[in-house]
Each structure stands twice: as C-alpha cells, then as structure tokens.
Amino acid sequence: MKIIGIGNALVDILYRLDDEHLLSEIHLKKDAMTLINERWEHEIEDMTVDVEKRMSSGGSIGNTMLALARLENEPGFIGRVGKDGMGDFFEQKLADAGVHTRLIRGMEMTGVAHTFITPGGSRTFGTMLGAAYYMGPDDISVEMFRGYDLLHIEGYLVQSQELIESICQKAKEAGLILSLDLSSFNVVSKNRTYFHHLISDYIDIVFANEGEARAFTGSFDAQEQVRHIAHLCDLAVVKLGEHGSIAMLEGGRIYKCDAIHVENVVDTTAAGDYFAAGFLHALTRGHRLKKCLQVGTVLATEAVQVMGSELPPSAWNRIKSSIHCR
C-alpha cells in the first residue's frame, strides 16, 4: 500500500534552551502550539539572534512522510509553500529523502515553526503558517490522490473546516483509507464537536496522544479513551509516552505495547510523527496491531534521542535491523 500525507508545510527552526525564561519573554505557552503572525514571528527572530539554532523540514505530516521514505516506502506529500528560499529548502529536504512532493506554490512566505526545546525534551511551538494558511479547497483535486492507498492528515488543518472537508471528500472519492493525527490537545479542545463529525463521517484510523485523547473523549482513562475513539472509526491508537501505547479495532480487543526506556530524552518534537510512520509502515504490510505498536515505538524511541526531526544514518540502520518489517 502506498501512503500520501497532507498537512502544513513548514520549516522548523529549532532552539535548545537551558530553562523556560525565554518562553515567558516571547509569550508562548509551554508544551503547546501557538499560532503567531508575521510581526510576532519577527519579534521572535530579533529576540533569538544570539540563541543557537538549526533548520530542518518540518510539519507533523512532513516528518511522518520523511520517516516513511527512510523506511524505503515511496510516500507522497501535499502542502503549500512560498516561492522563496524556505520553500525550496523544504521541497529539497523531502525530495532528498525520497518523498514525492506535490506542492502548491503561493506568493506568501513559506511557513515556519519556531520550536523551543527545554530540559527534559519537551517542546513549545510558535508557528507562523505563512503559505500553509492559504491552502484552500481549490488547491485540492481528486487527481492528487491517484496512485495512493492511504491518506494521512494532520489535525491542525481544522483551522479551515472547508479545506479539510474537501480533502476528505476527494480522498474518499479516490478510494483512499483516511488516517488522522489529532495533532494538539488545544486544537482538539477548541474543535471537539467538529472532530467528532470528521472522525465519524470520514476517518478510518485515528492517532492521538494521551492529552489529545483526553480533550476529545473527556476521559482520563486510556482504555476508555481508545474504546471511545474506536467506536467512531475502524482503528484507534493512543500514545501514552513512558507508559507505552495502545490500539483497538472497532469491536475488538485492546492491544498494548510498553515503552522502551530512554536514559536521556533530548527532544520529543517528532516522536509522535515517527511513531505514526512506524505504525503505518507495519500496518500497510499486513502486520498485526501488536507488531504495528512495536515498530512505532522503535521509531519514536530513536526520535527522542536527537534534536529535531532528522535521524542519522546509524539510527536508521538500527531501526531497519530491529523491526524486521518488510
């Protein structure tokens, strides 16, 4: 099965902080994603001139497709970038990894995600969507999905209900399975009713972390969360951090997988994105849910040990030799 993803095409600018003082100065809520405008973005740039930083391709779905490509899949990616250097950088990064990009080029600036990593590996985002904000229903066609079997969507796209509705309708028309990552607990909290409609009417597979699942279901119990979500779709996956992960098919049993202990968590930025890549990689090759959870866990474990969303070749060699998932 071939996988294509659609989401906000962003360039990540990564900062490693020794404490949380700077987050207060730039008015970002710790551990959350905050949408910022161009003026706020320029203020962040000015206030971080002396802070060490690095760039990488980003966006939740971009990270997942990049990881799938490293696992020798042939994924695709749909998104909107500007006709600028950042847009060229984003496209080249994915292309170099083996992702087939189907990018819409707009006149706006390419979006950026200022990603602040604080001790313990937690991350806080100040995201200026830029061109990604202007991706609209008219940018999406049924033809974009031809040749693929599964579409992976990021929950951040509910910023435009008209857009995500169009995506789901056209992907279903093309005969694709639809997978949704809920993306952020604050996004879910603000759009709970709409997410319920989206999942019930279109989505086959849902990925959520514990906070997102709690915001969606209202429950603090992980098993209740996964049952609630699985009742609305075909397959629900809830990531529980150091407590592992669980998955459930509608009407089936709950499968569990323990986390792998990591001595030094560097950055959790792309852990959930990599987990989804590993899970989907195994799922589309016909493996059972327990195996899918295990493969997702291996990828997420590697992801939290590096800064940013790019793993070194040595990590990919370890992953491929350990997952036994062809």
Q: What is the pLDDT of residues 276-291, one digit of tens each?
A: 999 999 999 999 999 9
The pLDDT of residue 227: 96
The pLDDT of residue 292: 97
> 59-93 burial string, b = 16+ CB within 10 Å, else e?
bbbbbbbbbbbbbebebbbbbbbbebebbeebbeb
Which letter does DSSP use for residue 20 in this model? S
313 belongs to a structural domain: yes
* Domain residue limits at 294: 3-10+58-109+130-323
117 belongs to a structural domain: no
Position 6 confidence tier, pLDDT thresholds 50, 70, 90: very high
pTM: 0.91
Which residues neighbour 276 within 8 Å (Cβ) at sequence distance 6 or greater? 64, 152, 179, 181, 207, 296
Instruction: Name the domain count of the chain.
Output: 1
pLDDT above 70 covers a percentage of the chain that reads: 99
The pLDDT of residue 307: 73
The pLDDT of residue 217: 97
The pLDDT of residue 82: 96
102 belongs to a structural domain: yes
Which residues neighbour 210 within 8 Å (Cβ) at sequence distance 6 or greater? 222, 225, 238, 239, 240, 241
Position 315 confidence tier, pLDDT thresholds 50, 70, 90: confident
Asked whether 262 and 275 are in contact (CB, 8 A), the reply is no
Residue 111 has pLDDT above 80, yes or no: yes
User: Can you give the C-alpha Rg of the chain in angstroms?
Assistant: 18
142 belongs to a structural domain: yes
116 belongs to a structural domain: no
The pLDDT of residue 17: 87
Distances (CA, A) of 229 to 215, 269, 277, 307, 319: 12, 24, 20, 32, 30
The pLDDT of residue 16: 84
122 belongs to a structural domain: no
Using a CB cutoff of 8 Å and minimum separation of 24, what contacts does 175-178 make?
176/4, 176/145, 176/148, 176/149, 176/150, 176/151, 177/149, 177/150, 177/151, 177/204, 177/205, 178/150, 178/151, 178/153, 178/202, 178/203, 178/204, 178/205
Residue 309 has pLDDT above 80, yes or no: no
Domain with residue 200: its CATH number is 3.40.1190.20
27 belongs to a structural domain: no
> Strand order of the sheet with strand 205-209?
100-106, 76-82, 3-6, 150-154, 177-181, 205-209, 235-239, 245-249, 254-257
Position 266 confidence tier, pLDDT thresholds 50, 70, 90: confident
The pLDDT of residue 123: 80
- Report how far residue 4's alpha carbon sits from residue 68's, in angstroms, rounded to the nearest whole number: 10
123 belongs to a structural domain: no
